[in-house]
Structure 1
Amino acid sequence: MSLSFSISKEISDNFYPFTQTRKAEDIRIGILTIKEKWQLLNANEEITSLRLPGITSNETKTIEKLTDIIHLNDWAICQDFALLTKNRTSQPVSSTNKIIAPENVFLEEAVKMEHCIINASNGPVYIGKNAEVMEGSVLRGPVSIGENAIVKMGTKIYASTTIGPHSMAGGEIKNSIIFGYSNKAHDGYLGDSVLGEWCNLGAGTSNSNIKNTAGDVKLWNHAIQAYESVGLKCGLIMGDYSRAAINTSFNTGTVVGVCCNIFNEGFPPKFIPDFTWGNERYELPKAMNDIDNWKKLKGKRITEEEKVLLEKIYKQPK
């Protein structure tokens, strides 16, 4: 039996908004997507749950709900690091950088990094092919910087953070996952959060990740159409193709759907449905045109497959 995924709709529905635009196995956690992990292990089985393979032991982890992506990212980075670097040698690290625990730092080919500080004593730091970490940046592992990603000058990246391929990172980021092709490129705080692909956070945008009462955070669960308690910390959950204006302030436990353009005064709502434009409906032709404009900034164009998928999401009953 070759590798195949049979993830039920009930499981997939727990991962809104990300499973609106991808299969559940294509969710990124750690360095790789779930599917990529099993492919690299040459798995020969049918996978019916979202299991993460253990590399450093026989232990596996199962993600059952949305916030598991955040809570297990630390573990997943460590497992993926072991998988990707086994019997391989890192590219040399320039002497202008200050490295703590260099044995836990791995650079793929053509990485650009000068005058940075990396502390890998509590977990590995992986930097993908053609990535650039600009001067003055400080990284504290476990951290993954994806292929062709850019970390802007003076960025502070704390443990359990994944910057996906072709994404831009800036400001302060902690315990967060950015899937790919997204921008959190300026000052502002992103913590205990997950951003999908082709997202953009305007300069100064920040999220709260803990209530000022230190009470339980309630997060919108789309599968049951209700808010549910998810523990002490949870920040921003943002679906693909969504964007926020400069200085947007997100409340603790905010869920943003697919293809939203967030602006207006004050705090945005804690749940923002798909195709929201300010306080109005984001008309589909304009949404597709705007997505195409954003994709052109990274040398891509909206595809016919994306248009079909977006139209399907747009027509879903609310």
Structure 2
Amino acid sequence: MNNYILFDEPQARIALLPLTFTRPVSEIRIGIQTITEKWEDFLQTKISFATEDYLQQKYPITLSTDNIFINGAICPTLNLVKEIINLPPGSSLYYQNDLLAFRAAAYTPEADFETVIQFDDVPFLVKEVTDIFLHNGSQIKEDFARITANRTSQPITDRFTAFYNEPQIFVEEGADIKNASLNAENGPIYIGKGAKIMEGAKIQGPFAICENSVVNLGGKMRPNTTIGPFCKVGGEVSNSVIFGNSNKGHEGFMGNSVIGEWCNWGADTNNSNLKNDYSKVELWNYATNRYEKTELQFTGLIMGDHSKCGINTMFNTGTIVGVNCNIIGAGFQPKHIPSFSWGGPEEFRSYHPRKAFQVARAVFERRGQVFDAVEEAILLKIFEMAQPKNS
């Protein structure tokens, strides 16, 4: 059996910050699953990672004498998988200038390969943070078709729940739905194992809620939205992805946004996803360390892992929040908040790791997990990277 390794393409990894500060590129969730989970489903085997040194202990690499390395930004398709599993030794697979995969004894993405093969189909690579919400709906549809193929949904037995286009609604074992509205006329709705949809919730597909997550009373889940595992979500959410283990439990609008793990939104927090003058959005760019123009009109908030905000927080259109930020105060927040920042619009100061780790331990314990030395070392490295460089 082939040994498969997902690697971080350097430009994509930087473009996907702050989400990739704490994970390999392939651990990004888009659609129902992470990219890693998609590949493991297609290949029917466990996959390891070639990523940054400080992440490698949590996400280890398993090398053999013969390995197939796959670009971790690619979402798999049947044709791509067939091409990759049949790669000859010492060969590489490209789409135009994008390296998709190569087969070698060691991780050598810049090597001159004996055989260079061009892939004919147009692959989908997650190259920008905005790609995650822009393509989330189409990825929900693709994941839904694969995950539910030749399977039977659990029945919706609650007599007060309304559902439309039932064949496009799939309910996993242990899910609990009461007095909700599920409309799959424009795309599928996937409800994961042990998920809970509470009274008065309104859901429009494409939509996915993963294992043991909750849509709170009266929650309004609009299309192209994914709620990762172990989350609690309420209010209004539109075209957004929450990776997992995060809470937005109260009223407030989240739109065209991507939220990492271990995050929390205070009550009545809102983000803008459209500028008042309808102009194109500028986003902070970690490669150039400045704001760069995009061609997008709708863009909300990108929030790195472990970041939290107080009640009534307001995020402007196209805001980037780093890892482990504690955000408070009235008024619109800055459009870029570096990792390990504590404060609000008037002043930010450094969030000391000792305090940050105390919070992280408590949050992990609430989920029955342990904040161990490996997690601490990753966050400490991110803290060091966030400190201003001496001129």
Q: Please, what TM-score do these two structures have when normalized by structure 1?
A: 0.96
SS at match of 2:129: coil
Distance, in Å, in 2 between the alignment partners of 1:176 and 1:209 is: 11
Mark the CA change 1:60 to 1:123 in structure 2 (over 3 Å): closer, same or farther. farther
After TM superposition, give the deviation of residue 195 of structure 1 in Å. Answer: 0.3
Q: 1:133 aligns with which of 197, 201, 208?
A: 197
Distance, in Å, in 1 between the alignment partners of 2:362 and 2:160 is: 38
Report the AA paired with residue 172 of structure 1. Answer: E
After TM superposition, give the deviation of residue 56 of structure 1 in Å. Answer: 11
Report the AA paired with residue 284 of structure 1. Answer: P
Between stretches 63-72 and 97-106, larger displacement belongs to: 63-72
After TM superposition, give the deviation of residue 51 of structure 1 in Å. Answer: 1.2
Report the AA paired with residue 53 of structure 1. Answer: P
SS at match of 2:190: strand
Distance, in Å, in 1 between the alignment partners of 2:234 and 2:123 is: 32
Match of 1:156 in 2: 220
Mark the CA change 1:56 to 1:121 in structure 2 (over 3 Å): closer, same or farther. farther
1:22 aligns with 2:18: no
Q: 2:309 aligns with which of 233, 236, 244?
A: 244
Report the AA paired with residue 40 of structure 1. Answer: D
SS at match of 2:3: coil
Distance, in Å, in 2 between the alignment partners of 1:134 and 1:56 is: 40
After TM superposition, give the deviation of residue 52 of structure 1 in Å. Answer: 1.3
Alignment of 1:181-260 (within 5 A): 181-230=245-294, 231-260=296-325
**CA-to-aligned-CA distance 1:33-79 (integer Å, 9 cap, x gap):** 00110110017843125111246997641121111111010011001
Distance, in Å, in 2 between the alignment partners of 1:99 and 1:62 is: 34
Match of 2:58 in 1: none
Match of 2:150 in 1: 87
Match of 2:11 in 1: 10
2:248–2:265 contact (8 Å) kept in structure 1 = yes
Distance, in Å, in 2 between the alignment partners of 1:186 and 1:223 is: 35
1:265 aligns with 2:288: no
After TM superposition, give the deviation of residue 264 of structure 1 in Å. Answer: 2.0
The 4+ residue runs of structure 1 with deviation greater than 4 A are 55-59
Report the AA paired with residue 4 of structure 1. Answer: I
After TM superposition, give the deviation of residue 299 of structure 1 in Å. Answer: 2.1
Distance, in Å, in 2 between the alignment partners of 1:56 and 1:166 is: 33
Report the AA paired with residue 48 of structure 1. Answer: N
After TM superposition, give the deviation of residue 293 of structure 1 in Å. Answer: 1.5
Mark the CA change 1:289 to 1:84 in structure 2 (over 3 Å): closer, same or farther. same
Distance, in Å, in 1 between the alignment partners of 2:136 and 2:242 is: 11
**CA-to-aligned-CA distance 1:229-250 (integer Å, 9 cap, x gap):** 2210100100000000000010
Report the AA paired with residue 6 of structure 1. Answer: F
After TM superposition, give the deviation of residue 295 of structure 1 in Å. Answer: 2.0
Report the AA paired with residue 104 of structure 1. Answer: Q
After TM superposition, give the deviation of residue 108 of structure 1 in Å. Answer: 0.4
Q: 2:353 aligns with which of 255, 280, 284?
A: 284
**CA-to-aligned-CA distance 1:229-274 (integer Å, 9 cap, x gap):** 2210100100000000000010000000000000123211100000
1:217–1:234 contact (8 Å) kept in structure 2 = yes
Match of 1:74 in 2: 137
Structure 2: state its 5+ residue gaps: 46-67, 81-120
Between stretches 192-201 and 224-233, larger displacement belongs to: 224-233
Mark the CA change 1:75 to 1:164 in structure 2 (over 3 Å): closer, same or farther. same
Match of 2:125 in 1: 62
Report the AA paired with residue 161 of structure 1. Answer: T
* RMSD across aligned positions (CA): 1.6
Q: 2:208 aligns with which of 144, 151, 158?
A: 144
Distance, in Å, in 1 between the alignment partners of 2:378 and 2:185 is: 43
Report the AA paired with residue 245 of structure 1. Answer: G
Distance, in Å, in 1 between the alignment partners of 2:210 and 2:148 is: 14
SS at match of 1:228: strand
Mark the CA change 1:294 to 1:85 in structure 2 (over 3 Å): closer, same or farther. same
1:137–1:151 contact (8 Å) kept in structure 2 = yes
Report the AA paired with residue 50 of structure 1. Answer: A
Distance, in Å, in 2 between the alignment partners of 1:91 and 1:229 is: 46
SS at match of 2:302: strand
1:3–1:39 contact (8 Å) kept in structure 2 = no
After TM superposition, give the deviation of residue 97 of structure 1 in Å. Answer: 1.1
1:56–1:79 contact (8 Å) kept in structure 2 = no
Match of 2:63 in 1: none
1:305 aligns with 2:374: yes
Q: 2:74 aligns with which of 32, 38, 51?
A: 51
Q: 2:383 aligns with which of 306, 314, 317?
A: 314
Distance, in Å, in 2 between the alignment partners of 1:68 and 1:151 is: 25
1:53–1:59 contact (8 Å) kept in structure 2 = no
**CA-to-aligned-CA distance 1:171-202 (integer Å, 9 cap, x gap):** 00000000000001100000000000000000
